[in-house]
A and B are shown apart, each in its own frame.
Chain A
Amino acid sequence: MARYLETDVLIIGAGGAGMYAAIAAATAGGEVLLLDKSVIGRSGATIMAQMTVAAAIGEEEPDDWRFHLNDTIAAGRGLVDEPLARILCQSAPERIWQMEEWGIGWARSGNHITQAHAPGHDRNRCVYVDFLSTGPATSRTLRNQCRRHDNIRRISDLTITDLVVRNGRADGAVGLYLETGEPVTIAAKTTIIATGGLTSLYQRNSASANMGGDGFALGLRAGAALIDMEFVQFFPIGHLAPRLIGMDPIMWDPFRYKLGGRLLNGEMEEFTQNYGTAEDGKYVITRDTATYAIYREVEAGRGSPHGGAWLSFEHISEADLRAAFGPVIDRLADNGIDLTKMPIEVSPIAHYHMGGLRVDQTMATDVANLFAAGEAVGGANGANRLSGNAITEAFVFGELAGRSAAEAAANTSLPDVRDAAGPYLAVIEEAGGRPEPDGGTSPTAAIADLQSILQRDVGPFRTGDGLTGALAAIAELAAELPLMATGGAMAFNQQLADWLALRNMLEVARTIATAALARTESRGAHQREDHPGLDEAWTCNQIIRRDNSESGGGITLSRAAVRRLPGPEGAP
């Protein structure tokens, strides 16, 4: 017999977006249930954020949200959902000030908040918390705010496996409480998916272990539409070598913001000028161009020893390094790294997903009573995200989704999902009932296989043959899934958790490869070696839905016009 919980607003995922949504929904007066498959406010992507949060607060120099919007639209290579991007840029300052009020402690110089310049922005716009502490400070601040609301109930270690859908309406969810292995049923008036992106589908990634795209699979199976699934952002200068422990692999981004640095190929020569962006010691190259340039150099035999590029700060003095990064310099020394004497090696790693659940301007999906927030939302960043927009999106879309879901809940009566939960609970029960493998691989090992497949054939550079092969390999793993062992009944059964994660990862991997195969052009984060160059005819979004009928399981792909604002916003 499953545990049965009831709430007004159910929030799945407790990173930045989920916690912000919880605070907004609780403030609006609803009972909130905030869940995380790992630990509330500690897993996911937010806590990993190192530095920049973009918002036109105009502290460093005069600014206006319309300038931020123009930059966001330009970075997105023609595919930005403009009404969503408008919400993002227009509401960003209000959220930054609210976080300041809640005591996040944005870095200051003199009497104003410091704003750094990040590539793609037309001016100094990105706030941060020193040193490399934006993510931890954000998480701590939002956790503290959540605790202040008696109407937010928080549960860690609870994995949601399916949404309960009746008559096209999301009425709650079922899941597994990892600590005891107990199944859980939740009745909810409204539900928000705030599970973040899908970067752990790739072997080389910058995210927590649990960013496998759960929310996209939950949404698909519930009947929601996904948009832009082919656009996975690779962060160009992820740490590659020497081995560095206790540090986030995207840590070189803040170093470049503050100190510039030089990107060099295996012959110790600057090369980005050959790909259209001369840097001259500054950090100006956009993420998609840098990823492309590094891959091409490696392919031409001019990579660094481990297959990336060199990043050098050797021309920066010890005093300047310490002024910019203080204690971080000591942590590097513990790892045997002295930046004044040696370059380090970097290479592109999966970092962020531009695609996601398709929502309207209230963050509602097209399934009734189902909302999305944060990175789980697709469209606002088009084909390429501007640096600094991810945490902004967690704040803005989180707050908006929380408010919208609370409003909708106020007009909804509490559903009873005891009976409807049965078939969804059966999935968990069936998966948990296979202690011994019937010949297949273990789900834990299969996740590693899937990550290799995506890294090789569904990464930043793609071909029709590679994608077709990847789809076949994904289908093969999906066929093995029902045979994979899950360890049997036990406390904290991570093998079963891995199986449930893999079930979602396979669903999501298929959508990325399918959309990437169909898009026969190169644009932003989607680069087809067999279809180089942008094709105007492809200035459209791709929408994916799943056939959820009993004999179904397939996915359908369609094209949709990019949502535009009625007229140019223009300068303020």
Chain B
Amino acid sequence: MNKPHLVHLKIRRGGPDQPARYEEFPFEFEDGQSVLDALRWIRGNRDASLAVRFSCINANACKECVMRIDGRTGYACTTPLHPGDMLIEPLPNKRLIRDLVTDTLPPDER
């Protein structure tokens, strides 16, 4: 079996009218687990108020979980966790809704 590793996720929290605030969540993981696995675990076990858009969970079909991971744009569901610190932020070039959710919808679907 895989030996668990430890990652410290530093997550940017808050809405558009609030100052940026970073919260840290430690998460033990096995090889192959994704950033979205960690974010879903945090919602289920540490803080259900964390806002993160996702739908298909693992298949990279819905493309909803796009965010900024370690300073680069990527999908949470296909980005593997790595031991140490990881910085998780909303997309910088989209209107912030709350936490990791930004306005990524087409303008005519609102």
Contacts and interface: CB of A to CB of B under 8 A. Distances in A.
- Does A associate with B in a complex? yes
A43 B64 contact: yes
Which 6 pairs between the two chains have the least Cβ-Cβ distance?
A: A243-B32, A248-B59, A43-B55, A246-B78, A444-B48, A246-B60
Contacts of A210: 55
A32 interface: no
Contacts of B101: 491-492
B77 A245 contact: yes
B30 A208 contact: no
Contacts of A157: 105, 110
B109 A154 contact: yes
A331 B9 CA distance: 26
B63 interface: yes
A351 interface: no
A208 B57 contact: yes
Nearest to B80: A245
B48 A136 contact: no
Given A245-B77, A246-B77, A495 B49 contact: yes
A147 B109 CA distance: 10
B71 interface: no
Interface residues of A, number: 42
B28 to A, nearest CB: 15
Q: Which of A42, A135, A443 has the most chain B CB atoms closer than 10 A to its own CB?
A: A42
Interface string B28-42: 001111100000000
Interface in B45-91: 45, 48-64, 75, 77-78, 80
Nearest to A245: B34
A248 B60 CA distance: 8
Contact of A42 (B51, B58, B62, B78): B62
A335 B32 contact: yes
A490 B98 contact: yes
B56 A43 contact: yes
B48 A47 contact: no
A93 to B, nearest CB: 27
A246 B59 contact: yes
Contact of A494 (B48, B60, B61, B103): B48
A122 interface: no
B49 A246 contact: no
Nearest to B78: A246
Nearest to A43: B55
Interface string B12-33: 0001000000000000001111
Q: Which of B32, B51, B53, B59 has the most chain A CB atoms closer than 10 A to its own CB?
A: B59
B62 A43 contact: yes
Interface string A128-164: 0000000110000000000100000011110000000
Given A38-B55, A39-B64, A491-B97, A443 B32 contact: no
A179 to B, nearest CB: 6
B32 A495 contact: no
B62 A208 contact: yes
B108 A42 contact: no
Contacts of B33: 243, 245
Interface string A491-512: 1111100100000000000000
A487 B15 CA distance: 15
B44 interface: yes
Nearest to A488: B49
A243 B78 contact: no
A246 B60 CA distance: 5
B34 to A, nearest CB: 5
Contact of B30 (A135, A243, A444): A243
Interface in A11-49: 38-40, 42-44, 47-48
A129 to B, nearest CB: 13
A487 B49 contact: yes
Contacts of B34: 245
B64 A42 contact: yes
A48 B61 contact: yes
A248 B62 contact: no
B5 interface: no
A39 B62 contact: yes
A239 to B, nearest CB: 9
A427 interface: no
Contacts of A244: 32
Given A208-B56, A243-B31, A155 B80 contact: no
Given A442-B48, A487-B48, A492-B97, A155 B59 contact: no
A268 to B, nearest CB: 20
B62 A47 contact: yes
16 contacts: A42-B63, A43-B55, A48-B59, A155-B109, A208-B57, A243-B33, A246-B77, A247-B59, A248-B61, A249-B58, A249-B59, A492-B53, A492-B97, A492-B99, A492-B101, A495-B49
